[in-house]
Amino acid sequence: MLLSCIRLNSQRGAAVIMALFVVVLCTLVVGPLIWTLFATAKSISVSAARDQTQEVALSGLDWARVILREDARVSTFDALTEPWAVPLSESRLNEGLMRRGESASNLQDRDTSITGRIEDAQGRFNLRNLGEDSLQLQEWTAAFNRLCTLLGVAQSDVETIQTVLGSMFTKNTESGLLNEPGVIQPIVPKIPVEVPAQQWAEFRGQYNLSDEAWQQLAPYVVILPKPTLVNVNTASAEVVYASIEGLSFADAQGIVSYRERVAYKELSDLRAAVNVNTEQNNALIDVTSQYFLVEGRAQVQEAIVKTSALLQRKDLRVYVLWRHD
């Protein structure tokens, strides 16, 4: 009897050990499979959130286009007192994404928000005006020198920027140099033409330009597809000062301070509103704008997309010239 009990306990022990071995083996086999399925599901979720974030970002860009188009319908000038200039504070879009029978408490796992702002690109100094094909190159060069002197940019960096921009935007065409309407002259060999830049960011660390100069100019300059005027309704005091020859910086600050109360609807309003004892250089300034910069941030769950774009408003239509995420 004792021997039979020992044999039975031995068999039970072996069965338990075998069962534990099977469990461990299954865990080793199934564990990686479960982890792979989890990782795949997470990847799909992140990818879906990223796609949704891209769509939210595009909707934000469409919002900016609608705002600018409607502004063109009702206004003959562009100023910081208008609706387009009001930043879009962080807005949660969860409520707009509710499904039938879903309550707000169920939306915690689908956190969706968007924020953005529109900036008048012509409130900055357009470096495109320094291209050799600029019709007022001499005036714009003088204005750029005034801006750089005010900001303390080194003269060597100023000359570097002017040289590079001159080679980026030239009068050269595929068939020749167009000096007069209908008259094509042979191309005169010049320094190698640089690939035209779209953004000031492309100058950072390039062309032997110091990083200090790049940072000094970053808040005040932009590169647009064609030469443009400076909008005195949206430009900083520094850019206003540079764009109006003979203007003191104190007068430029006065111009900016006054427009915070009343926008300049016409250039004649500028002289009437501010007692400036200088001849206005109307050739370089205006009160309307055609180009606008858009900065936005969209988030769906953990996915975040930051978007920057350049818009052109023309004939009551708004076009996206470039967009970067």
Q: What is the pLDDT of residues 42-95, one digit of tens each?
A: 455 545 556 666 776 677 888 899 999 999 999 999 999 999 999 987 767 654
> In the prediction, which pLDDT does 115 show?
84
- The 10s digit of each residue's pLDDT in 197-241 is 899 999 999 999 999 999 999 999 999 999 999 999 999 999 999
Residue 177 confidence (pLDDT): 43
The answer to pTM > 0.85 is no
**pLDDT winner (highest mean) among 6-20, 24-38, 175-189, 207-221:** 207-221
Going from the C-alpha of 133 to that of each of 130, 173, 262, the distances in angstroms are 8, 11, 36
Range from 46-55, 244-253, 263-272, 284-293 that averages highest in pLDDT: 284-293
pLDDT band at 5 (very low <50, low <70, confident <90, very high): low
Segment among 11-20, 28-37, 298-307 with least mean pLDDT: 28-37
The confidence score (pLDDT) of residue 187 equals 46
For the chain, the average pLDDT equals: 80
The pLDDT value recorded for residue 235 is 97
Burial letters 12-40, b for 16+ CB under 10 A, else e: eeeeeeeeeeeeeeeeeeeeeeeeeeeee
Locate tokens 């044999």: which residue?
7
Given a contact cutoff of 8 angstroms between Cβ atoms, the answer to whether 133 and 170 are in contact is yes
Domains of the chain with CATH codes = 47-96+107-122+290-324 (3.30.1300.30), 128-219 (no CATH)
Q: Is the pLDDT of residue 118 over 70?
A: yes
pLDDT band at 106 (very low <50, low <70, confident <90, very high): low
Q: Which residue has the higher pLDDT, 143 or 183?
A: 143
pLDDT at 109 over 90: no
CA–chain centroid gap for 250, Å, is 31
pLDDT at site 174: 42
> Residue 259 class from Cβ within 10 Å (0-12 exposed, 13-18 middle, 19+ buried)?
buried
